[in-house]
Amino acid sequence: MSTSAPEKVTNALLSVQDVHADVAGQPVLQGLSLDVREGEFVAVLGHNGAGKSTLLRALLGLTPTKSGSIHLRGEDITSASTPRIVDSGVALVPQQRGYFENLSVNDNLSFGERGSGRITRADVLEMFPILQTRGDQLVGTMSGGQRQMVAISIALMSSPDLLMLDEPSVGLQPNLVDTVMQVAQRLNAEYGMTVILVEQNIEKVLQVAKRVAVINRGRIMLDQPVEKVTADEIWRLL
Ligand SMILES: Nc1ncnc2c1ncn2[C@@H]1O[C@H](COP(=O)(O)OP(=O)(O)OP(=O)(O)O)[C@@H](O)[C@H]1O
Ligand SMILES: [Mg+2]
């Protein structure tokens, strides 16, 4: 009898199998399965409260799972600590306040610095030129858009292989939404980074992502390459 793992576990960078997780005693993830291969750009959509942030938090070890498994490069990280998962190359830009208001931009970036150093401070500042002259500024005194750039920069300073962005464009001006989307796309295309993007803006998602997954009632209801889905189909599932 063969003892090898199923192909989708060994080939996927990330493999989420039948995960259940509660938040505040209520079931949120209810048998969620999702595989993400190296170099993919997957958008995760779902209505408010569907469990998108809970999924990303569970992947980073911030929300405990009740059952199911999470593998990274074939290694079981279901119960791994957050620092270990970050050291394995996973970074999250959280939905809110992924930065330290009372620290300068430079100190925020230093906080995120770890890992291989494949992505340098210069790389990050080249992606967000507005931050180049703001090194000593306290992040709490910056605009919402600039703060979000700092939050993404902190995540990038760990040179992640898998970058997870939780609604990074919410509340931003349209031009900044485009900046954030372009940076995500560039990280995927030029740096080969695998990206999971949680977003509400379906039209934008269909422009930048390669694959779309829709969460409803704590499970994946649709999982397709972007060219095989329309915005209308997605709306119907939300
Ligand atoms: N701190 C909390 N206390 C109680 N319930 C919570 C808490 N955080 C989340 N929840 C609940 O858990 C469920 C899933 O929340 P989650 O944040 O994962 O949803 P989401 O899909 O990210 O939604 P949104 O689009 O609003 O960000 C929701 O029903 C939410 O009300
Ligand atoms: Mg959320």
Tell me if 69 sits within 8 A of 92, measured CB to CB. Answer: no
Cα–Cα distance between 164 and 166 in angstroms, integer?
A: 7
> What does the block give as tokens for 65?
């799972």
- Which ligand does the CA of 57 lie closest to? 1
Q: What is the CB-side half-sphere exposure of residue 192 using CA atoms within 13 A?
A: 4
Global pTM value: 0.93
Say what the pLDDT of residue 117 is: 85
Say what the pLDDT of residue 115 is: 78
Say what the pLDDT of residue 2 is: 43
> Is CATH 3.90.226.10 the right assignment for the domain spanning 1-89+194-238?
no
Which residues are placed with Cβ below 5 angstroms of ligand 2, an ion? Answer: 52-53, 95
For 89-135, write each residue's pLDDT tens digit.
Answer: 999 999 999 999 999 999 999 999 987 889 999 999 999 999 999 99
For 193-216, write each residue's pLDDT tens digit.
Answer: 999 999 988 999 999 999 999 999
Whether the CB of 52 sits within 6 Å of ligand 1: yes
Cα–Cα distance between 57 and 63 in angstroms, integer?
A: 5
